[in-house]
């Protein structure tokens, strides 16, 4: 019967509250709180039993008298254009179109249990999976309906119209039945009625509520203390301006760490006691993009993999600091935002790179890269979809947007365009050239740049192929005279 008290606790997320407290105190978990076990569980159980109302003398005989449908005031809060009836075998909604401005389809308009389906819809709405909490909400609902004098009879009738398998699963989940024997339907109906009745009685008794709240506070403090002891060697310290860190600038934004709000600074410590500081929002966005691109998240400074516990901690940090995650695509506040997103897309196609490599390039370099890409891809019509609208005032953003778009779209047949882009990058960046896959280098890996040298490429640029970009004056001006 301890489940009655535990049912009352279901509406209070103790775990999240404890996580929030520990976070604000500088302790952030690297393990699951659910693993903590109370040492004085027997003592807690005794207090629970003292609170529970005695149920031994409950009358288990069903009263078959059911209130008339006209006696019940219904409150269906939304108007449905689909039938509200549920099927007996799986409890799914009918969802056929209603007729005659009613709540039922032509198949269910003559059902004799309209009042049952109305109650189900009032409480469950369009839910598919029915849980223990739903069954309690059902009991509480009929207690608040006027003139429902026979609560037990009505509640059990409602249970009879829910597939028995659902009720059995709920009872097993509450651990209120034993797996050592079989239970009749009547037994299950009465067990569910009794536990929900007693939960309701406790919920509406001020004295019991006070005692439960005191018990809740004791359990909460006990869990919190046990968790602290368990995590002595697994804490993530708060940012301290006096401490030594591996980076002075935030990798994703390029800002100085001292210029970022302390509320956003997340310290990542590895097994070598190296500490890196990140803008938590930017780091979460980076991780999310890694997952979307089917990459394992990593620390961009040293490429150490980030485990699930670290990722969970970052999300908790953002939640309890009240930070908002980034949601809009291409909502970049600076060049490093754009470079980071482009870097992730390029890596998703198998090319090692870093946002810092783009940050070292000048505006003229980006324009050269575009023209080299166009020349390498001159015989591929699909390449004409990209890098056609490059403006001086938004050069970097335009470059990154089109490059990201290309890497997202060019799979299989047009993967060659991604390769051509990397070749173009290698002509303007030593970092890209030194980290090119060997299969992109010509002459069996000799130190020759992409099957051609710069002089030959310049010859191509000054040939008729260069006229294809003459309409883009900015691009033509920068590249034609390099």
Mean pLDDT of 152-180: 87
Among 15-24, 238-247, 295-304, 330-339, the minimum mean pLDDT is found in 15-24
Q: Answer for the pair 351, 380: CB distance below 8 angstroms, yes or no.
A: no
Name the one residue in this structure whose structure tokens are 């301006």.
Answer: 241
User: How does 35-73 read in b/e, with b if 16+ C-beta sit within 10 Å?
Assistant: ebeeeeeeebeebbeebbeeeeeeeeeeeeebbeeeebe
- What digits encode the pLDDT tens for the residues 436-453? 888 877 544 333 344 444
The confidence score (pLDDT) of residue 417 equals 92
For every residue of the chain, which 3-state class applies, written as one string?
CCHHHHHHHCCCCHHHHHHHHHHHCCCCCCCCHHHCCCCCHHHHHHHHHHHCCCCCCCCCCCCCCCCCHHHCCCCCCCCCCECCCECCCCCCECCCECCCCCCCCCCCCCCCCHHHHHHHHHHHCCCCCCCHHHHHHHHHHHHCCCCCCCHHHHHHHHHHCCCHHHHHHHHHHCCCCCCCCCCCHHHHHHHHHHHHHHHHHHHCCHHHHHHHHHHHHHHHHHHHHHHHHHCCCCCCCCCCCCCCCCCCECCCCCCEHHHCCHHHEEEEECCCCCEEEEEHHHHHHHHHHHHHCCCCCECCCCCCECCHHHHHHHHHHHHHCCCCCCCCCCCCCCHHHHHHHHHHHHHHCCCCCCHHHHHCCCHHHHHHHHHHHHHHCCCCHHHHHCCCCCCCCCHHHHHHHHHHHHHHHCCHHHHHHHHHHHHHHHHHCHHHHHCCCHHHCCHHHCCCCCCCCHHHHHHHHCCHHHHHHCCCHHHHHHHHCC
pLDDT higher at 152 or 10? 152
Predicted confidence (pLDDT) per residue in 375-405, tens digit = 999 888 888 889 988 888 889 999 999 999 8
Q: Taking 50 as the threshold, does the pLDDT of residue 99 lie above it?
A: yes
Give residue-wise pLDDT tens across range 285-316: 889 888 887 888 999 888 899 988 888 888 88
CB distance 433 to 426 below 8 Å: yes
Question: Could you give the dihedral angle defined by the CA atoms of residues 264, 269, 270 and 276, in that order, rounded to the nearest 10 degrees?
Answer: 60
Q: Which of the four pLDDT bands, split at 50, 70 and 90, describes residue 64? A: very low
pLDDT at 18 (0 to 100): 60
Q: Is the pLDDT of residue 181 over 60?
A: yes
pLDDT at 29 exceeding the cut of 70: no
- Per-residue pLDDT, averaged over 338-351, amounts to 88
The pLDDT score that the predictor gives to residue 229 is 60
pLDDT band with cut points at 50, 70 and 90 for residue 76: very low
Helix 164-173 to helix 132-143 angle (10° resolution) is 110
| CA–CA separation, 170 and 259 (whole Å) | 53
Dihedrals φ, ψ of 97, to 5°? -65, 140
Q: How many residues does the chain have?
A: 482
Residue 419 pLDDT: 92
Q: Tell me the CA end-to-end span of the chain in Å, nearest whole number.
A: 83
Is residue 322 pLDDT above 50, yes or no? yes
- Residue 470 pLDDT greater than 50, yes or no: no
- Kindly give the interhelix angle for 206-230 and 185-203, rounded to the nearest 10 degrees: 90
The whole-number pLDDT of residue 59 equals: 38
* CB neighbour list of residue 230: distance below 8 Å, 6 or more residues apart: 31, 36
Mean of the per-residue pLDDT values of the chain: 75
Phi/psi of residue 93, each to 5°? -70, 150
* 130 close to 155: Cβ distance less than 8 angstroms: no
In angstroms, the CA 469 to CA 476 distance is 6
* Residue 20: predicted pLDDT: 60
Structure tokens at 222: 């006990």
Contact criterion met (CB below 8 Å) for 267 and 237: yes
Query: How far is residue 224's CA from residue 472's CA, in Å, rounded to a whole number?
Result: 64
The pLDDT, as a whole number, for residue 461 is: 45
Nearest residue to 114 via CA among 103, 99, 127: 103
Q: How do the domains of the chain map onto residue ranges?
A: 1-233, 236-327, 350-480
Identify the top-confidence range among 57-66, 420-429, 456-465: 420-429
In this prediction, residues 31-36 reach a mean pLDDT of 44
pLDDT 10s digits, 107-158: 888 888 888 999 999 999 888 888 989 999 999 999 887 566 788 999 999 9
pLDDT greater than 50 at residue 174:
yes
For the chain, give the longest Cα–Cα distance: 99
| Ramachandran angles phi, psi of 89, nearest 5° | -80, -35
Cα distances from 203 to residues 72, 190, 216, in angstroms, run 24, 20, 14
What is residue 312's predicted lDDT score, i.e. its pLDDT?
84
Strand partners, 277: 267
């Amino acid at each position: 019967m301890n489940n009655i008290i535990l049912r009352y606790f279901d509406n209070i997320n103790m775990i999240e509250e404890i996580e929030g407290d520990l976070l604000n105190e500088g302790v952030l978990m690297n393990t699951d709180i659910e693993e903590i076990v109370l040492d004085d569980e027997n003592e807690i159980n005794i207090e629970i039993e003292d609170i529970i109302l005695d149920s031994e003398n409950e009358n288990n005989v069903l009263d078959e008298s059911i209130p008339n449908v006209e006696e019940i005031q219904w409150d269906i809060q939304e108007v449905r254009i689909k039938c509200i009836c549920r099927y007996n075998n799986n409890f799914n909604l009918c969802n056929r179109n209603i007729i005659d401005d009613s709540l039922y389809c032509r198949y269910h308009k003559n059902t004799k249990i309209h009042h049952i389906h109305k109650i189900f819809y009032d409480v469950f709405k369009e839910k598919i999976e029915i849980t223990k909490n739903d069954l309690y909400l059902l009991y509480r609902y009929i207690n608040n309906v006027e003139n429902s004098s026979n609560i037990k009879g009505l509640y059990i009738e409602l249970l009879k119209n829910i597939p028995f398998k659902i009720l059995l699963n709920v009872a097993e989940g509450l651990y209120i039945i034993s797996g050592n024997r079989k239970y009749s339907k009547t037994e299950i109906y009465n067990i569910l009625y009794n536990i929900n009745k007693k939960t309701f009685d406790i919920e509406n008794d001020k004295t019991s509520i006070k005692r439960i709240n005191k018990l809740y506070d004791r359990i909460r403090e006990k869990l919190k203390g046990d968790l602290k002891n368990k995590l002595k060697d697994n804490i993530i310290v708060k940012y301290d301006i006096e401490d030594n860190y591996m980076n002075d600038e935030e990798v994703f934004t390029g800002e100085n760490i001292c210029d970022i709000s302390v509320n956003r600074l997340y310290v990542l410590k590895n097994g070598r006691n190296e500490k890196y500081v990140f803008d938590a929002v930017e780091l979460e966005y980076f991780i999310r993009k890694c997952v979307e691109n089917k990459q394992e998240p990593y620390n961009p400074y040293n490429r150490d993999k980030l485990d699930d516990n670290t990722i969970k901690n970052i999300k908790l940090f953002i939640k309890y600091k009240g930070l908002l995650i980034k949601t809009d695509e291409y909502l970049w506040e600076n060049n490093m935002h754009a470079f980071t997103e482009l870097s992730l897309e390029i890596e998703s196609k198998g090319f090692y790179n870093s946002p810092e490599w783009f940050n070292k390039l000048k505006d003229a370099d980006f324009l050269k890269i575009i023209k080299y890409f166009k020349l390498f891809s001159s015989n591929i019509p699909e390449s004409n979809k990209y890098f056609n609208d490059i403006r001086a005032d938004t050069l970097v953003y335009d470059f990154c947007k089109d490059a990201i778009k290309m890497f997202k779209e060019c799979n299989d047949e047009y993967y060659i365009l991604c390769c051509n882009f990397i070749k173009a990058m290698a002509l303007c960046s030593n970092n890209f050239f030194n980290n090119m896959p060997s299969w992109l280098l010509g002459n069996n890996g000799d130190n020759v740049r992409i099957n051609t040298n710069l002089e030959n490429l310049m010859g191509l640029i000054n040939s008729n192929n260069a006229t294809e970009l003459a309409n883009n004056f900015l691009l033509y001006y920068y590249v034609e005279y390099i």
